Chains A and B, each alone.
Chain A
Amino acid sequence: MTIAADPALAADARSERRFFLALSLPALLIVGLAAILPILWIIRQSFLTTGGEYTVGNYEKVLSSGLTWSALITTVDLSLGTLAFCILLGTPLALALASVRPRVANLLMAFVMLPLWTSILVRTYGWLVLLRRDGLINAALTGSGLTAEPLPLVYNFTGTLIGMVHYMLPLFLLPVYAAMRDIDANLVRASASMGATLGQVIRTVILPLSAGGIVSGSMIVFIYTIGFFITPAVLGGGKVNPLSIRIERTLSTFQDWGSASVLGILLLVLMALVGVMFLVARRLVARNKVGAAHA
C-alpha cells in the first residue's frame, strides 16, 4: 500500500472520510431533533412541576398510584398473552411454510405479508366488524346454536388480545420461518433413517435449531406490544388500560405532562429490561446450539 507513504494521498483519504461522514449528517440531524431530543425532553419533563421547577413529586405521585401498577400489569399481561399465542400459532405455521416447495412457500408468504402492509386501522375496523355483539362471529355462533347468548368478544381484554396477536403474528413468523428454512434438510432425513419419529425430530432437531429465530421473534413481539396504543384504544373500549393508554389519558384528560412523562419513562425502563433479558436468552441459545453441534 502506497497510500500511507504518500502524505498528499493520506490527506486526500482523510478529507474523503470527512466527506462521507458529512453525508449522513442530515439524516442524523433530523433523527436527533425529532426522535432523540423528544425522548430527552420526556426525561426532563418528568422532573418538572407545572410551574417549571425541579421536583421528584411526579415520580412519587405516579408510583404511589394504584392505576399505574394495574396499567403495568395489564401491559405485561397483554404482551405475555400476545407472545404465547404467537408462539402457539406461529411456530407450526412456520414449520408448514418451511416444509413446502419454495414456490408454494413464497405464494403463502404473500398472504402472510398482506396484513403486515395493511393499515392497522383497517385491521382494527375489520376485527370490530367480526367481533361485535351483533358481529359476524357472534351471528355465526348463535345462528348455529353453539351459544345461546352472544359472547363478549370485543371492548375488553379478549378483543384487544385478538387484535394484537393478529398484528404481531407476521412479525413473529418472519424470523422463525427464516431460521427453519436454514435447517439442513439432511439432518431431518438422517434422523428419519435412524428411526426417529416425526415428534422426536420436531422436538430434538427442528425446535432446538430454530430456537434462535423463536427468541428473536419473541423479542420483536414483546418490544412492540409493550408500547402498543391503537389496538387497546379501539378494541379495549376503555376497559383495557395498559401504560400507553394511561399516558394518553394523563395527557388529554388531565394535561399532566409531568405524570405522563414518568409513565413514558416506566415504559422505556420496561422495554430496556425486556430487551436485556432477550439478549441474554439469545446468547444462551447460541451457546447451546454450539454445544449441540459438538455433542
Chain B
Amino acid sequence: MLEAYPDNRLARIFLWGFSALAMAFLMLPTLVVVPLSFSASDLLEFPPRAYSLRWYENFFGSATWMAGLRTSLILGTLTAMVAVPLGLLACISINRLGGKTASAIQGVLLAPSIVPGILLAIGLFFVLAAQGLVGTLFGVLVGHVVLAIPVACIVLLPAVARFDWNQVQAARSLGADWARAIGGIIVPQLQISLLSATLMAFLTSLDESVISIFVASGRNSTLPKLMFLSLRDQIDPTIAAISTLWTAIVVVVVLIVTLRQKS
C-alpha cells in the first residue's frame, strides 16, 4: 500500500523495526520454553549448560500428569464428536431457514464465545453442584461442547453456504430420506471443512482452562488445570516439556488445517 513512498527510508526503517519488535514480542514466550525443556538442570538457566530429556521422562513417568493427559485427550475427542455434528446440523438449519430466525439461532449459538469464561465456569459450577455433578467428566464435557459449538459453526457456516442445495433436493425427489441426504451427500462434500472443524473443536477443549479449573477435580483434572495449579505453586521445568510438546501439536494441527484449506 505504501509503495508510493519508496524514498521515505526513515519511515520505512521505523515501521519495520517496530514491527520486528512486535513480532519478537509475540513469538518470544512460546520459543523460550523449547531449549529450557531439554535442560539437565533443576534451575531455569538460559541457555542450559547441559541437555537431557529428564523433564520429558518426568512428564511421561508421572501418574498425575498422565492421568491429566488422558482426561484432556478423552475430553477433546468427545467434545469434537459432539460439537461438530451438532454444529453441522445447526449450520444447515441456519442456512436453510434464513432471515430473522436464522440470525437469532446464530446469535444464541455464538454467544458463549463472548461470555467471560469465569462466568460460564461459576454458573456451570452452581448448576452442576445442584445436580451433584461437580467433578465429573460429564460436567466439563458439557462446558467444552458449548465453547466448541461456536468454533465449529464459524468453520462450517461458509462451507454449508457454498454447498449446492439442489443436490439434496434431487436426492430427496429420488426417494432418499433426510439421514441419507445429509450423511450421503452433504457430509462427504464438506469433508475438508469437517476435518478443520473437528481439529479446531479438539484444540478448543484441549486449551480450555477456566471451566476445567472450577468444574473438574480429582481424577478428572485436565492437563491445563494441573498446569495452572503447578504454575501457581512453583515453577516446575516439567511444564517446559509439556509446553514444547503442546506447541508442536498446535503447529502440526494449524499446518494441516491451512494446507487442507488451500488444496
* 12 chain-A/chain-B pairs, Cβ below 8 angstroms: A19-B178, A31-B146, A38-B122, A42-B123, A121-B239, A126-B33, A129-B29, A129-B235, A185-B1, A230-B228, A233-B228, A264-B118
Supposing A20-B96, A169-B22, A227-B116 touch, asked if A27 and B143 sit within 8 A by C-beta, the answer is no
Return B112 CB to nearest CB of chain A, in Å. Answer: 4
Chain B residues, Cβ within 8 Å of A170? 26
A-B contacts besides A92-B19, A227-B116, A267-B116, 9 pairs, CB < 8 Å: A20-B93, A114-B251, A115-B29, A121-B227, A121-B243, A134-B44, A136-B32, A169-B22, A188-B2
A99 and B116 contact, CB distance less than 8 A: no
B243 and A122 contact, CB distance less than 8 A: yes
Chain A residues, Cβ within 8 Å of B250? 114, 117-119
A95 interfacial by beta-carbon distance below 8 Å:
yes
Supposing A27-B90, A117-B203, A166-B29 touch, asked if A122 and B19 sit within 8 A by C-beta, the answer is no
How far is B247's CA from A234's CA once the two chains are assembled, in angstroms?
20
B25 and A234 contact, CB distance less than 8 A: no
B161 interfacial by beta-carbon distance below 8 Å:
no
B76 interfacial by beta-carbon distance below 8 Å:
no
How far is B74's CA from A222's CA once the two chains are assembled, in angstroms?
33
6 smallest CB-CB distances across A and B, nearest first, come from A227-B116, A38-B123, A126-B29, A192-B4, A24-B93, A23-B93
B247 and A95 contact, CB distance less than 8 A: no
Chain A residues, Cβ within 8 Å of B3? 99, 185
A188 and B1 contact, CB distance less than 8 A: yes
B123 and A27 contact, CB distance less than 8 A: no
B231 and A183 contact, CB distance less than 8 A: no
A178 interfacial by beta-carbon distance below 8 Å:
no
B4 and A188 contact, CB distance less than 8 A: yes
Return B114 CB to nearest CB of chain A, in Å. Answer: 6
Number of A-B contacts (CB under 8 A): 265
Supposing A21-B101, A26-B86, A92-B15 touch, asked if A125 and B239 sit within 8 A by C-beta, the answer is yes
A254 interfacial by beta-carbon distance below 8 Å:
no
A101 nearest CB neighbor, chain B only = B3
A30 interfacial by beta-carbon distance below 8 Å:
yes
Chain A residues, Cβ within 8 Å of B126? 38, 41-42, 45, 257, 261
Interchain CB contact (< 8 A) of B30 among A118, A139, A192: A118
B30 and A115 contact, CB distance less than 8 A: yes
Chain B residues, Cβ within 8 Å of A38? 119-120, 122-124, 126-127
B105 and A130 contact, CB distance less than 8 A: no
B111 nearest CB neighbor, chain A only = A35
B155 interfacial by beta-carbon distance below 8 Å:
no
B30 and A264 contact, CB distance less than 8 A: no
How far is B116's CA from A121's CA once the two chains are assembled, in angstroms?
17
Interchain CB contact (< 8 A) of A114 among B11, B27, B235: B27
How far is B258's CA from A136's CA once the two chains are assembled, in angstroms?
34
Interface size class of B (residues with CB under 8 A): 35 or more
B36 interfacial by beta-carbon distance below 8 Å:
yes
B153 nearest CB neighbor, chain A only = A27
A118 and B23 contact, CB distance less than 8 A: no
How far is B115's CA from A268's CA once the two chains are assembled, in angstroms?
8
A123 and B30 contact, CB distance less than 8 A: yes
Q: Interface readout for B27-41 with A: 1 if CB under 8 Å, 0 if not?
A: 111111100100000
Interchain CB contact (< 8 A) of B243 among A19, A119, A193, A198: A119
Supposing A27-B86, A126-B32 touch, asked if A118 and B232 sit within 8 A by C-beta, the answer is no
B75 interfacial by beta-carbon distance below 8 Å:
no
B159 interfacial by beta-carbon distance below 8 Å:
no
How far is B23's CA from A129's CA once the two chains are assembled, in angstroms?
19
Return A243 CB to nearest CB of chain B, in Å. Answer: 8
How far is B27's CA from A13's CA once the two chains are assembled, in angstroms?
54
B4 and A268 contact, CB distance less than 8 A: no
Chain B residues, Cβ within 8 Å of A98? 1
A223 and B114 contact, CB distance less than 8 A: yes
